[in-house]
Structures are given as structure tokens and as C-alpha cells.
């Protein structure tokens, strides 16, 4: 498994402690038929388990499961259930689908409290916690800025200052209010558009891995767009080995992990150059501008929801601030490198 990265300066932050992934479970929903996807099976050392791999499109990208199971039937049944679970998260959190729970919440303007599903409540609550602890470097209300910069990348045109100002009026994590007693949300400003793209994939991985465990699959990997969540090590192995490409002399070339989330954020593929200046697809919620300092972060955490949610603040914040942030998430570490 390879995470794309190019780096020359590395900061190692945090301490790796005991790792255990988990997630809440929502209401069942119809899911894809994975039995139509032909598995790749190879005999693994140790217990009599075979390796199977399946992929489906969710959250606007290829989502992949690798599992070790006693036979193809067990693998197909478990992965079908896991993909169903990923579909439930997509139903709740997608910012591309107008019919998702998240987009329905935004469409109501939510001037009154709106009760949330378990999945959306978990995601928004954790998003708000990370937003507060990162001083707004992570912000689920960043949607208007994201839309503006998606258009900028497409048109290769820098947004005008007044466009950034207008887009920023409904942005600000304090404008999203979560009531943990009623498990509801209120949006305090008109035109708010929530974006959970920086945390939902990791959470979906947590949920997929938990579902696989419930179906007897103890060794599995979930991957979606740079976010990975794994359970126990493959048979006969110490863990899942993830290679950090062009990692540089001051950081490990690979990490071997189990029962954790691994997320990478950076702009090696998604960026735009305007008037000779490099702008990342990652938008700083505090300024409304795509990042111009080229950096990449890889975060390893006990949960995918943490590794995903923390990877962007780790890319944006100074190293001492990242160190302070990670103290609130035991068992989490980050590798940050400045790119050439």
C-alpha cells in the first residue's frame, strides 16, 4: 500500500499508544451487490485464510476493501455489509448529493434545532471538537469557500477579494451549534453550507471495519482517497505496511500498523497555479484562501475519524500547535513534511 508523498523536511509529532478503532452504527440501508465484483484471492501464511479485494464507488471516489476470510462466501457477505455501512455514512454526510442528510440540513437553513441521525451527530460533534481545539484550522462550515475554490481551480482564475469576503460571511465553526442533549443542530447564519469531506471518509472506514468485525473478519483494510483504516494484521504479518513515497532522510520510509486510521493530506495532485503561484485544493477556513505553503501530513490515530479530521490541521498549523492539538487525541502521531 503506497501513500503518494514528496518531502524533504519532516516533523514527527505525538506518541503512538494503544490503538483501537470504533464507530457508531446507524439505521440499515440498501447497499451494493459486491458479489458481482470478482475477488483477488491468494493463500496467506498462518491460519487458513485467503485474501479478497473488492471496490465500489462511494463518496465520489473508489472505495476499497481488502479482507482475509475463510472462503469467498464469507468475504462477499462481510464486504457487502461493510459497503452497505459505508453507503449509510454517504447518505448522511455527502456534500455532493442534494438528497443527503447533510444537504437537507443546510437547505432548511436550520434556524431551529434539527434532530440528527447517529452518524451525522457523531461527525458534526467530532468536527466541532477538532475545530475548537485547532482554533478553526478545521471547520465543517467551510463549504462556501470550498465551492469558490473548486470553481477557481476549474477556471484557473483567482477569486476576487470581494468574492472571498462574501463567501466567508456564513463561515465560522461557532455558527454551527450542536446540542448533545437533544442530538440536534442549529445553523446560526443564512447561506451556511457544511462540508465533511475532511472527516467523513475516516469515519466511514471506522464503520466499515467495525461491520467486518461483526461478520467475523478480523484482518481487513479500508481505503478511500488517501484515508486508510485497518484492523488486525494480515496472517503471518506484524501489521499492514504503508510506504511513504519520497519520505526523505529524516522520516521512516514506511510504517507498519494495525487497528488504526492512517490519513494523508497534501496537494501533490489537487492544486492550481494562477499567475505563477501555487494554490492547494486545501482551503484555510481562517482566510478563505487555498494554501500556498506546500506541505503534506500523514496522521496515524486510533480512529479513522481522528486521522482524517486531524490531517488538514496538521498540514496548516506550526509544529508546536500541532503538538498541542495531538495531546487531546491519545495514541495519535503525525508526520509533516514541507514539499519541494
At residue 31, does pLDDT exceed 60? no
Contact criterion met (CB below 8 Å) for 119 and 24: yes
Pairing of strands 114-115, 9-14: unpaired
Question: Helices 118-133 and 304-316 sit at what angle, rounded to 10 degrees?
Answer: 30
Contact criterion met (CB below 8 Å) for 69 and 60: no
287-339 residue pLDDT tens: 877 776 667 889 999 999 999 999 999 988 999 999 999 999 999 999 888 76
DSSP letters of 194-238?
Answer: ---TTTHHHHHHHHHHHHHHHTT--SEEEEETTEEEE-SPPTTSS
To the nearest whole number, what is the mean pLDDT of the chain?
82
At residue 30, does pLDDT exceed 50? no
Task: Tell me what pLDDT residue 16 has.
Answer: 34
Alpha-carbon distance of 101 to 93, in angstroms, equals 6
DSSP 340: -
Instruction: Give 151's contacts (C-beta < 8 A, 6+ positions apart).
Output: 159
Alpha-carbon distance of 255 to 29, in angstroms, equals 35
Q: Which residue has the higher pLDDT, 184 or 226?
A: 184
| Among candidate residues 56, 22, 13, the one with its CA nearest the CA of residue 205 | 22
86-143 residue pLDDT tens: 999 999 999 888 899 999 999 886 678 999 999 999 999 999 999 999 999 999 999 9
50-65 residue pLDDT tens: 999 999 999 889 999 9
Alpha-carbon distance of 226 to 59, in angstroms, equals 13
Task: Tell me what pLDDT residue 276 has.
Answer: 59
Which range has the worst mean pLDDT, 45-59, 135-149, 228-242?
45-59
Cα maximum dimension of the chain: 63
At residue 25, does pLDDT exceed 70? no
Q: Looking up cell 447561506, which residue turns up? A: 191
Q: Which residue has the higher pLDDT, 335 or 33?
A: 335
Task: Tell me what pLDDT residue 249 has.
Answer: 62
Q: Other C-beta atoms within 10 Å of 287: how many?
A: 12
Amino acid at each position: 500500500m503506497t501513500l503518494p508523498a514528496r518531502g524533504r523536511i519532516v516533523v514527527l509529532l505525538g506518541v503512538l499508544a494503544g490503538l483501537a478503532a470504533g464507530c457508531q452504527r446507524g439505521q440499515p440501508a440498501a447497499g451494493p451487490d459486491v458479489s458481482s465484483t470478482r475477488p483477488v484471492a491468494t493463500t496467506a501464511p498462518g491460519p487458513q485464510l485467503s485474501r479478497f479485494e473488492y471496490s465500489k464507488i462511494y463518496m465520489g471516489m473508489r472505495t476499497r476493501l481488502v479482507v482475509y476470510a475463510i472462503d469467498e462466501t464469507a468475504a462477499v457477505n462481510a464486504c457487502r455489509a461493510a459497503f452497505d455501512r459505508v453507503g449509510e455514512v454517504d447518505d448522511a454526510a455527502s456534500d455532493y448529493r442534494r438528497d443527503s442528510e447533510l444537504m437537507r440540513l443546510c437547505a432548511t437553513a436550520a434556524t431551529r434545532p434539527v434532530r440528527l441521525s447517529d452518524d451525522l451527530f457523531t461527525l458534526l460533534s467530532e468536527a466541532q471538537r477538532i475545530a475548537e481545539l485547532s482554533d478553526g484550522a478545521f471547520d465543517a462550515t467551510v463549504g462556501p469557500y470550498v465551492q469558490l475554490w473548486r470553481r477557481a481551480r476549474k477556471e484557473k482564475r483567482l477569486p476576487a477579494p470581494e468574492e472571498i469576503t462574501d463567501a466567508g460571511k456564513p463561515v465560522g465553526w461557532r455558527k454551527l451549534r450542536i446540542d448533545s442533549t437533544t442530538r440536534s443542530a442549529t445553523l446560526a447564519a443564512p447561506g451556511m453550507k457544511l462540508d465533511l469531506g475532511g472527516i467523513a471518509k475516516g469515519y466511514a472506514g471506522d464503520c466499515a471495519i467495525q461491520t467486518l468485525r461483526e461478520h467475523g473478519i478480523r484482518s481487513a483494510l479500508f481505503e478511500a482517497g488517501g484515508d486508510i483504516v485497518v484492523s488486525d494484521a494480515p496472517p503471518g504479518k506484524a501489521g499492514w505496511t504503508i510506504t511513504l513515497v519520497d519520505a526523505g532522510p529524516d522520516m521512516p520510509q514506511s510504517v507498519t500498523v494495525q487497528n488504526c486510521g492512517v490519513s494523508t493530506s497534501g496537494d501533490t495532485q489537487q492544486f492550481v497555479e494562477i499567475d505563477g503561484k501555487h494554490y492547494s485544493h486545501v482551503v484555510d477556513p481562517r482566510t478563505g484562501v487555498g494554501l500556498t505553503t506546500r506541505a503534506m501530513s500523514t496522521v496515524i490515530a486510533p480512529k479513522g475519524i481522528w486521522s482524517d479530521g486531524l490531517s488538514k490541521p496538521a498540514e496548516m498549523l506550526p509544529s508546536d500547535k500541532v503538538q498541542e492539538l495531538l495531546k487531546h487525541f491519545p495514541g495519535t502521531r503525525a508526520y509533516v513534511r514541507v514539499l519541494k
